[in-house]
Amino acid sequence: MSKRASVLFVCLGNICRSPTAEGVFRKLVEDAGLQEQVYIDSCGTSNWHIGKGPDPRSQEAASNRGIDIGGLKARQFSEKDLDTFDYVVVMDRQNLADVKDIWRQNGGTEPTLFLEYGSTGLAEVPDPYFGGDEGFEHVLDLIEEAGQGLLRNIQERMA
């Protein structure tokens, strides 16, 4: 890999988990001084929320940790993303199945579960949409932990 990397975070709606991951990871990358080298985006497998901003509960939970995701707008995953992103990182097994179906036909970057970059032993960032506020805190905890592992992986591949 070159001295550049691109990362796409994928969930179902692109209004809770993946925009949170985009915001958290952007902060980790900026703190490491790599913002010119690492391009970050997020999207959803569904078309349900295209053009909408993140869920207010996600915005508030992120804001409480100093991260502003208010300007993000949801978009849908496209098969072209597999040709343009170096990392396609999904939140749960259903996202993985959905993106892998497209990957088998399209080729390109093989999608991976985000939490494989972490060390909690968990596989999925659970969908917080239908639950309470504590779900959004849990999402942030998991994303912060795995994001550090993903950043280390990128730094190693760039070295």
Is 15 a binding residue for ligand 4NP by CB under 6 A? The answer is: yes
Place of tokens 């209004």: 15
The yes-or-no answer on residue 11 being catalytic is yes
Which residues does 88 contact at the CB level (< 8 Å), separation at least 6?
Answer: 8, 10, 81, 82, 99, 103, 109, 110, 111, 112
Total of residues contacting ligand 4NP (CB under 6 A): 11
Is the CB of 37 or the CB of 46 nearer to ligand 4NP?
A: 46
Q: How many helices (H) and strands (E) does the chain have?
A: 5, 4
| Interatomic CA distance for residues 54 and 88, integer angstroms | 20
User: Could you tell me if 136 and 57 are in contact, meaning their C-beta atoms sit under 8 angstroms apart?
Assistant: yes
- Choose, by CB under 6 A, the member of 12, 88, 115, 150 that binds ligand 4NP: 12
Is the CB of 12 or the CB of 154 nearer to ligand 4NP?
A: 12
**Binding string, residues 31-70; x marks residues near ligand 4NP by CB under 6 A:** -------------x---x----------------------
Catalytic residue among 81, 92, 98, 127: 127
Residues marked as catalytic: 11, 17, 127
